[in-house]
């Protein structure tokens, strides 16, 4: 048997809830409705960026090791809404990503979509389960946007996780870690050029 040195991947299979298959089938039905033009699916989630590098591997000349600068910095918390094609909305905040903050982002997204029929796929983070967030769901539904909660411990079903991976490990120039302005400009560049310069292909 041949072997290759690579990262070990953590598995969450043993933690998946009893309703996993049911929720997965519901998501598949939404995808069918999207193909029929009845609805548009967007995937949403948050992620954190800072000047502390999070790059585990990189192509490097043999005998030379890339050394990235590392600084203590504020965290730039992003909330992304992503259709896995060419549409991406990135919202940022330096402070905590609270329910109130996320609600304001979704409100803005609803205005931009102007009553388009949308299913917004999110996970079960506590900020999405707060009383304030749940209270706003009916208002969003009246504007055409329905929240679809994924089963717990199922990040692979939220396609926006691929976006964060590409942003943190695939697309970045190492100079984003030089200073805060470079990091912000990198995020803005992704938001402006997603779907053209920056693309993700799903099988």
Per-residue pLDDT tens listing for the chain (203 residues)? 666 666 655 545 566 667 889 999 999 999 999 999 999 999 999 999 988 777 656 666 777 776 666 667 788 999 999 998 889 999 999 888 999 999 999 999 999 999 899 999 999 999 999 999 999 999 999 999 999 999 988 889 999 999 999 998 889 888 888 889 999 999 999 999 999 999 998 76
Does domain 29-193 correspond to CATH entry 3.40.1080.10?
Answer: no
Bridge-based pairing state of the strands 40-49 and 118-122: parallel
Instruction: Name the residue among 202, 164, 199, 203 with its Cα closest to residue 86.
Output: 199
pTM score, whole prediction = 0.84
Element (H, E) at 136: helix 131-142
**Domain ranges (residues) in the chain:** 29-193
Close Cβ partners of 13 (under 8 Å, ≥ 6 residues apart): none
Encoded tokens for 125? 């983070």
The alpha carbon of residue 64 and the mean position of all alpha carbons in its chain are separated, in whole angstroms, by: 33
Encoded tokens for 88? 């991406």
């Amino acid at each position: 048997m041949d072997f290759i040195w690579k990262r070990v991947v953590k598995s969450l299979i043993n933690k998946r809830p009893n309703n996993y298959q049911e929720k997965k089938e519901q998501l598949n039905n939404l995808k069918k409705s999207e193909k029929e033009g009845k609805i548009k699916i967007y995937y949403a989630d948050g992620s954190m960026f800072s000047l502390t590098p999070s790059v585990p591997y990189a192509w490097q000349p043999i005998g030379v090791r890339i050394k990235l600068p590392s600084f203590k910095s504020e965290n730039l918390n992003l909330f992304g809404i992503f259709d896995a094609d060419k549409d991406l909305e990135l919202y940022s905040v330096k402070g905590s990503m609270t329910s109130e903050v996320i609600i304001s982002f979704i409100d803005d997204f609803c205005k931009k979509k102007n009553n388009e029929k949308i299913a917004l796929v999110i996970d079960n983070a506590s900020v999405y389960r707060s009383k304030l967030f749940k209270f706003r769901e009916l208002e969003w539904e009246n504007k055409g946007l329905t929240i679809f909660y994924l089963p717990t411990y199922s990040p692979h079903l939220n396609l926006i996780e691929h976006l964060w991976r590409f942003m943190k490990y695939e697309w970045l120039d190492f100079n984003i870690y030089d200073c805060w302005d470079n990091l912000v400009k990198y995020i803005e560049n992704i938001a402006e050029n997603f779907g053209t310069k920056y693309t993700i292909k799903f099988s």
